[in-house]
Structure 1
Amino acid sequence: GTFLSLGERGASVATIAGSMMSQDVMCTSTDQLGSALTYITKTFQSIGSTRLKAQYRRYTDASFSQLSPQPSSHGLPGPLVAAENRLPFNVTFTPDGGLVTLGDTVYGAVVEPGQNLTYSWVVPQQAGPSKADLPSVAYTYSSTLSPSHEVAGL
């Protein structure tokens, strides 16, 4: 999985690990026509009902040894992370391998397993709510490998 630690002005406030999980996407309601089995049964022509999805979990500290409690009603693929307008925060990625990208800054930079790469980001004013919005705005975070595929159906 990919690990990231978010902090405000150097103080860590969120430590998150990303990994892939298997999810059975089969509908539990009754199939009135029987045609669903054509698509959800794994054969040489069909991939079946199990899909790989990205899952992000919050940990208590940067050792990634103790999971933070997660509400059972939490249907998102990861924990909520708050950032304040125009305040800098650091992001540290520690992936199991693969590419780490952040725009054109370090596109294609390889971070080896066990290594860290820290970015310092500032939340721009235009990323916050406008006069027509509620007091806060939400954005998603995801893998850069296949973001829409990894969160589809969650």
Structure 2
Amino acid sequence: MGKTTAEEFSRRLREVISLVTSDPSSLNLKDAVLAKVIRGLSAQKEGEFAAMLRKRAALADEPVTTDTKRLIRLPSSLHGGSGFRVTPLAPADLGDFDPLVDAVVFGERDVKVDLAFPLSMPLLGTTFRLEKGVSAVPEALAVFLCCRGAAEIAGGGSRAP
């Protein structure tokens, strides 16, 4: 960072600190001075800022963020990979949202599944520890396991290829 940028940042430091502590979303990241300082700080691999950045970073799920077909979901439809409800949320509600409870659509009626391997799975506030083979599980768990390819509904019929 050059002398002019450093002087301008120093002049605005109190304002920046105030925004960072009170309302970080109001920072203008297109501001050239602020952008240069943040780029310089985030390029450092060690130090206090780098540690704070790693601690607070939101890591993107690359396959989802780069595939636009995965970004658009019809609210209240079922997610094909889990059987959970697609639930619209405001950013403020994210902390209170538990997808393993709040997005579960199916009930607790027992359904027999043939599990391909042993596993432990939390759902609806309970952790289920299951062995390979046929087990009776709540309907919501059966749907999830089948969607993930970990189980099939047990009883009559042939296995899919």
TM norm. shorter chain > 0.5 = no
- Bigger proportion of residues as strand: 1
TM-score interval, smaller chain: under 0.3
Which structure has the larger Rg over C-alpha atoms? 2
- Bigger proportion of residues as helix: 2
Taking structure 1 as the reference length, the TM-score comes to 0.24
Q: Which has the higher contact order (CA 8 A, sep 6+)?
A: 1
Taking structure 2 as the reference length, the TM-score comes to 0.23
